[in-house]
Amino acid sequence: MHKKWLCSYSSHRKNSNSKKNQHCEGFIDILIKMVTKGSKKNDAYLKRDPPLNTIIKINLFHKHNCASADALKRLFIDPEVKATFLQYFADGLTPCQAIKQNISRIQTLPNYILTLANGAQNPRPWTVYRLWHKYLTKNYGTIKDPFDRLEEKIPEYLKQGVIVKLNKASPWVVLIVTSLNQRAQKLQSSSEIIFLDSSSSCDVSMASITVILTATKGGAVPIGVLVHMQQTSLAYEKGFKMLKEHFPNCFGGLEYPKIIMTDDSVAEKNAIK
């Protein structure tokens, strides 16, 4: 086994103008030799009893200050802290919320001031955002093409009672109907009045989300959710057609509700005509 660890300020795989490229030559090199009859022949150290089979080389002469706050801040993230951040993302926290949560966790530890300055325990925002993008790509696909991952997950969502339908042609539309939404579709109120509420620029995909709601005694309840690429009449029309196609009597058993209330949006109004 042979492994060599370079200082994080070395020039290995770094741009010449990178702040972390200080041409540092600090390293630790560990070589563990196999002890066999063949290897013993030409190696005086392996012939000893017990055999001396390991060579460790260390260069501790760094070309930068190792005792500064800056050096501490730039340490690589600790694997356990990395796992904690991935769990925060899985729990639905944004990078900013995850950083705050991690700082709160550190503040419960003894001597936390030093730990707060340590990049391995309290990673810099840049590190956290990079980790978040990797997490998103792994779990939700790339921003450019998120559908492969979504299509893979459709059967899994179905097991949880969530129906996901998608139309990938531009402008793409995704229809999501949960078991709660299906129950709300059967309500009398769904045949009387439906509200449309759109939000744009959601998440990293910058998609628009339209929630299709009915008014119940307990407040507004969605009968379905549309995620779409644009806020155009065509996108809304495609979404509403998908809802009608898969849930033809979703308005309290009827094909159309008596009243649909939209945002003040020409695109929405045109699409429901």
From 45-53, 61-69, 124-132, 202-210, give the range in contact with Zn ion by CB under 5 A. Answer: 61-69
Centre a 10 Å sphere on the Cβ of residue 250 and count the other Cβ atoms it contains.
25
Bond prior to 79 in cis (omega within 30° of 0)? no
Cβ nearer to Zn ion, comparing 28 with 103: 28
* Residue number, 28 or 116, with CB nearest to Zn ion: 28
Rounded to whole angstroms, the Cα distance separating 212 from 82 reads 38
Smallest distance from Zn ion to CB 90, Å: 35
- Using CB under 5 A as the binding rule, whether residue 62 contacts Zn ion is answered as yes
In the bound state with Zn ion, the residue whose beta carbon lies nearer, of 14 and 62, is 62
Q: Say how far residue 186 (Cα) sits from the centre of its chain.
A: 35
Which one of 26, 95, 222, 252 is in contact with Zn ion (CB under 5 A)?
A: 26
Pick the closer one to Zn ion by CB: 24 or 196: 24
- Reported residue count of the chain is 273
209 contacts 143 by C-beta, under 8 angstroms = no
> Is 194:257 a contact under the CB 8 Å cutoff?
yes
Residues 101/87, Cβ–Cβ less than 8 Å: no
**Minimum distance of Zn ion from residue 121's CB (angstroms):** 20
Binding region for Zn ion (CB under 5 A) out of 57-65, 112-120, 200-208, 224-232: 57-65
Per the structure block, which two tokens stand in for 86? 């991935």
Closer residue to Zn ion (CB): 24 or 267: 24
State the minimum distance, in angstroms, from the CB of residue 62 to Zn ion.
3
**Between the CA of residue 59 and those of 3, 20, 67, 154, what are the distances in Å?**
14, 18, 17, 53
Q: Which stretch binds Zn ion (CB under 5 A): 7-15, 101-109, 171-179, 246-254?
A: 7-15
Six-digit token string for 74: 């730039």
- Partners of residue 215 on adjacent β-strands: 220
Element (H, E) at 167: strand 163-167
Closest CB 22 distance from Zn ion, rounded Å: 7
Q: Does residue number 33 form part of the binding site for Zn ion (CB under 5 A)?
A: no
* 20 contributes a contact to Zn ion by CB under 5 A: no
Site residue total, Zn ion (CB under 5 A): 5
Whichever of 62 and 153 has its CB closer to Zn ion, that residue is 62
Q: Assign residue 94 a region: left if phi > 0, alpha if psi is -120 to 50, beta otherwise?
A: beta
Selected binder of Zn ion within 9, 85, 172, 251 (CB under 5 A): 9
Q: Which is nearer to Zn ion, 9 or 247 (CB)?
A: 9
Q: Which residues bind Zn ion (CB under 5 A)?
A: 7, 9, 24, 26, 62
